[in-house]
Amino acid sequence: MLRDELDELKRKFINELKQISDSEALEALRIKYMGKKGLVTLLLKGMGDLPPEERPAAGQAVNGLKEELAALLDNEERRIKAAERQRRLEAETIDVTMPGKRPVIGKRHPLSIVRRQIEDIFIGMGFEIADGPEVEYDYYNFEALNIPKDHPSRDLQDTFYITDNIVLRTQTSPVQIRVMESHKPPIRIIAPGRVYRSDEVDATHSPIFHQMEGLVVDHGITMGDLKGVLDVFAKALYGEDTRTKFRPHYFPFTEPSAEVDVTCAWCHGQGCRICGYSGWIEVLGAGMVHPNVLRTVGINPDEYSGFAFGLGLDRLTMLKYGIDDMRLLFENDYRFLKQF
């Protein structure tokens, strides 16, 4: 009887299926039963030998078996695949605590990082960036800044001379003059750059260091504006809880002049080693542009006013990162540079 034959075939299939544990054997089983010359296929092909009236029922029965076996095969295939995937995942388990493979990337110099940060703060307040030559005329570095040849404050800045009239700029302030000569107010610039003073090298001195100048000239600029702008700057650089303190001081090219302290970023004003236990750190000099300076560049001080400031980039960088020796900024040791 066909029915018995089918049952027997199914029983054999299930027995064989039970033995199988990998997808290759499963495929072989599929071919044995369902392939072109498979046992089930042969049965279907044998239909032609049956009397026509039996064919529909027999066909239905064989097809039923075929579907049943196919379903069992698919089911088993999913199970085996899952098991195989599981084995692979287990085999592929790695020690995630082993070291990572790092791409080689370079870093900006810490001075450059801090300069860019500060530039961005001032750009946010509508400043543009100006520059000027490092080898500069005495006129721009001193005279136009209200520091005539015999001025005692020249003694405070040990100047390197190339000729009697050409110096290594001792400050970024000459950029103020160059900008005011070539631009009409309103002016709002910063000018970062290298400056030179004849200091011997030690942990806090270098004959070459970096400043950033700021200059604003317009109608109605006040000392309040100077305080406001520097306040925004200090908070942006060192955090919202930073306070500034303006102390009277003297610079030949500003009047009134001020030295500006900010609360120490390390101790938040509590007093620590970095700030000499004062809670304050002197970071810049500033003031209202001296009327003589405005007159020198042909700007009428009765009509315009302005403020200027100069900050020490090396010092700000050292404070920001807690660097205790200025020489490191010029040594370019890989072990130093990779830290930023």
Residues 128 to 147 in contact with other proteins, rule: CB under 8 A: 128-129, 133-137
On the 0-12 / 13-18 / 19+ scale of CB atoms within 10 A, 50 is middle
Smallest CA-to-CA distance from 134 within 215, 208, 216 is with 208
How many chain residues touch other proteins (CB under 8 A)?
84
271 dihedral zone (left: phi>0; alpha: psi -120 to 50; beta): left
Exactly one of 25, 47, 153, 183 binds other proteins (CB under 8 A); that residue is: 153
Exactly one of 23, 41, 63, 112 binds other proteins (CB under 8 A); that residue is: 112
Which of 90/200 has CB closer to other proteins? 200
Exactly one of 15, 93, 97, 332 binds other proteins (CB under 8 A); that residue is: 332
The half-sphere exposure of 57 on its side-chain side, counting CA atoms within 13 A, is: 8
Q: Which one of 26-34, 175-183, 196-204, 262-270 is the stretch in contact with other proteins (CB under 8 A)?
A: 196-204
200 near other proteins, rule: CB under 8 A? yes
Q: What is the DSSP string of 255-294?
A: EEEEEEEEE-TTTTTS--TTTTTSSEEEEEEEEEEPHHHH
Which of 61/208 has CB closer to other proteins? 208
What CA–CA distance (Å, rounded) separates 290 from 114? 29
C-beta of 327: minimal distance to other proteins in Å? 11
Exactly one of 125, 236, 267, 272 binds other proteins (CB under 8 A); that residue is: 125
Residue with tokens 């001296």: 290
- CB 113 within 8 Å of CB 340: yes
- CB 237 within 8 Å of CB 243: no
Exactly one of 55, 107, 205, 273 binds other proteins (CB under 8 A); that residue is: 107
End-to-end CA distance of the chain: 86
Main-chain dihedrals φ then ψ at residue 218, nearest 5 degrees? -170, 180
330 near other proteins, rule: CB under 8 A? yes
Exactly one of 186, 239, 276, 322 binds other proteins (CB under 8 A); that residue is: 186
Which of 3/327 has CB closer to other proteins? 327
What CA–CA distance (Å, rounded) separates 315 from 204? 9
C-beta of 272: minimal distance to other proteins in Å? 19
Main-chain dihedrals φ then ψ at residue 287, nearest 5 degrees? 170, 180
Token pair recorded at residue 95 = 């020690």
Which of 85/219 has CB closer to other proteins? 219
CA-based torsion, 30, 31, 35, 37: positive or negative: negative
Which of 43/237 has CB closer to other proteins? 237
- Beta pairing, strands 166-168 & 187-196: unpaired
Exactly one of 19, 97, 163, 300 binds other proteins (CB under 8 A); that residue is: 163
Q: Which one of 1-9, 24-32, 41-49, 124-132 is the stretch in contact with other proteins (CB under 8 A)?
A: 124-132
151 near other proteins, rule: CB under 8 A? yes
Contact letters for other proteins, residues 208-227 (x by CB under 8 A) = x-------x-xxxxxxxx-x
C-beta of 166: minimal distance to other proteins in Å? 6
Which of 52/106 has CB closer to other proteins? 106
Contact letters for other proteins, residues 259-298 (x by CB under 8 A) = x----------------------------x-xx-------
